[in-house]
Each structure stands twice: as structure tokens, then as C-alpha cells.
């Protein structure tokens, strides 16, 4: 939040204020925690401009809040493997923009592509970089990982993708499991030879990918060790 707030010219709460607010919200809503395996208590911190202003400028006043809500699985198919579509024309973020921060500005641009993909039977969309249009970046609301042998690869965070907390946890777990972890540019063509693909995010958790359609070709994947080893991460 502090990184995003600085980028958006917003004051941010201190670390202690943030942690205390999350703890209080979780305790106050503990009765709403779903039974194990049935869902989770999703906790969402928000920082919003609430001071009066009409022109284009930072708001004179901001409100920090945290709310909690019991939720089921993020995707309607539950824990079933996702079916993704690679979008080649619409881009989620561009260099110099705000793609690397947790901001609402990263969600509005993907709505049309998501709507079209879901209308055609896909779970979500995988976006390419806006410059070369050949490197994979993110799914609409989550990070993506590829597994090939003993190597786990994920797109490098260079300002156009979010360095998600769940992403970081997966990287740490992969190291502990003995995987070689690479954060790098990943060409879309590498999707064809990957053994396994999965997505991560605070709302998504760890979601396996069963197939990706790229340039009219449907590529299917297996669900193997690293997904099962990391899927205990709480949402």
C-alpha cells in the first residue's frame, strides 16, 4: 500500500497502523470465517480520496479502511483448472504507467477483454507486454508461473506487473522445495513447452491452469508437485 500510495500521491498509514487495522478487522469478523475448505475470510484494505475536489489533483483528504467478507472460490469453476486466453490486442499496462502498483487503474482496462473471453468460455485473460507484444505479463487479477522440469519461471516485475505477496510466497516455497526460480522475460511461445502453469493472488490464492489458448492453439497442462505443495497458502 505504501508503494502504491506514493505513486498515486496519496498519504499512507504507517506499518503499525496498517497491521493493527487488519488485526482488529479479522478479530471483529472471526465468526464469519467459513469452514475449512468451504471458502475464506477475505480482508481488503483500501485507501481512497474522500476530500472535496473537482479539478485534476490529489484529494485534500483521504480515508484508510479495512473490511472483511466471507468468500468462496474466486473463479466460478471453484478449484477446477483454469482455461485462459492470450489477448494480443488489449494490454493491461505499459511502461511508465501504474501497472506495478495495486491501483484501480489496473482493473478498468481489462474489463472488456475479460468480458469477451468469458463469453467465449474462457476463465480469464493472459496479457502480453504492450511494447513487443510477445512477452507474457499477468492475468487480469493475478500473477502467473510456468514450470519446466525443475525450473519455476515468472515474469520479471519491471513496473508493468504487480509484485504480489502470494507471488513472493510461492517463490520462497519453490526455493525450499529445491526448484530453480527465474524472474525474467517470458515469451508467449514458451507456453507451448511448459509442463505446468498456475496463477497466484490474494483473492485467487493458488489456482491451477488446465489450458491456455494462444494463436488459436489450445495448450493443455498437468497439475503436479509444485501446485499441490504450495496450494495450502491462505487467501
What burial letters (b/e) apply to 52-83, b meaning 16+ CB within 10 Å?
eeeeeeeeeebebebebeeeebbbeeeeebbb
Please choose, from the candidates 218, 230, 91, 205, the residue with its C-alpha nearest in 3D space to the C-alpha of residue 147.
230
CA distance 129 to 150: 26
Q: What is the pLDDT of residues 179-226, one digit of tens each?
A: 999 999 999 999 999 999 999 998 888 999 999 999 999 999 988 656
Residue 3, pLDDT above cutoff 80 = yes
- What CATH homologous superfamily does 82-230 map to? D-amino Acid Aminotransferase, subunit A, domain 2 (3.20.10.10)
Strands 40-49 and 62-71, sheet pairing:
antiparallel
What lies within 8 Å, CB to CB, of 197 at 6+ separation is: 144, 145, 146, 147, 191, 208, 209, 212, 221
Active site amino acids:
102
Residues 36-69: pLDDT tens digits? 878 889 999 999 999 999 999 999 999 999 999 9
Q: Counting beta carbons within 10 angstroms of the beta carbon of residue 16, is it exposed (0 to 12), middle (13 to 18) or buried (19 or more)?
A: exposed
Per-residue pLDDT for 101 more than 80? yes
Provide the percentage of residues in the chain whose pLDDT is more than 70.
92
Question: Is residue 32 over pLDDT 60?
Answer: yes
User: And the C-alpha cell for 63?
Assistant: 480515508
Pick the CATH number of 2-71 from 3.30.470.10, 2.40.50.220, 3.20.190.10, 3.30.420.40: 3.30.470.10
Domain boundaries, the chain: 2-71, 82-230
Amino acid at each position: 500500500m505504501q508503494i502504491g500510495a506514493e505513486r498515486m500521491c496519496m498519504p499512507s498509514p504507517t506499518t503499525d497502523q496498517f497491521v493493527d487495522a487488519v488485526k482488529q478487522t479479522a478479530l471483529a469478523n472471526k465468526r464469519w470465517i467459513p469452514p475449512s475448505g468451504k471458502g475464506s475470510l477475505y480482508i481488503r484494505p483500501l485507501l481512497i480520496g474522500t476530500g472535496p475536489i473537482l479539478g485534476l489533483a490529489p484529494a485534500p483528504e483521504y480515508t484508510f479502511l479495512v473490511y472483511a467478507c466471507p468468500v468462496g472460490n474466486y473463479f466460478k469453476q471453484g478449484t477446477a483448472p483454469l482455461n485462459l486466453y492470450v489477448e494480443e490486442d488489449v494490454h493491461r499496462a505499459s511502461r511508465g504507467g501504474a501497472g506495478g502498483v495495486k491501483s484501480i487503474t489496473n482493473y478498468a482496462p481489462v474489463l472488456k477483454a475479460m468480458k469477451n473471453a468469458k463469453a467465449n468460455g474462457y476463465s480469464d485473460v493472459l496479457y502480453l507486454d504492450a511494447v513487443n507484444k510477445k512477452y507474457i505479463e499477468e492475468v487480469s487479477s493475478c500473477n502467473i508461473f510456468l514450470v519446466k522440469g525443475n525450473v519455476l519461471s515468472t515474469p520479471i516485475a519491471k513496473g508493468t506487473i504487480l509484485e504480489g505477496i502470494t507471488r513472493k510466497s510461492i517463490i520462497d516455497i519453490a526455493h525450499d522445495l529445491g526448484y530453480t526460480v527465474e524472474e525474467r522475460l517470458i515469451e508467449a511461445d514458451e507456453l507451448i513447452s511448459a509442463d505446468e502453469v498456475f496463477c497466484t493472488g490474494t483473492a485467487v490464492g493458488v489456482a491451477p491452469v488446465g489450458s491456455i489458448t494462444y494463436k488459436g492453439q489450445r495448450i493443455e497442462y498437468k497439475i503436479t508437485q509444485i501446485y499441490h505443495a504450495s496450494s495450502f497458502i491462505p487467501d
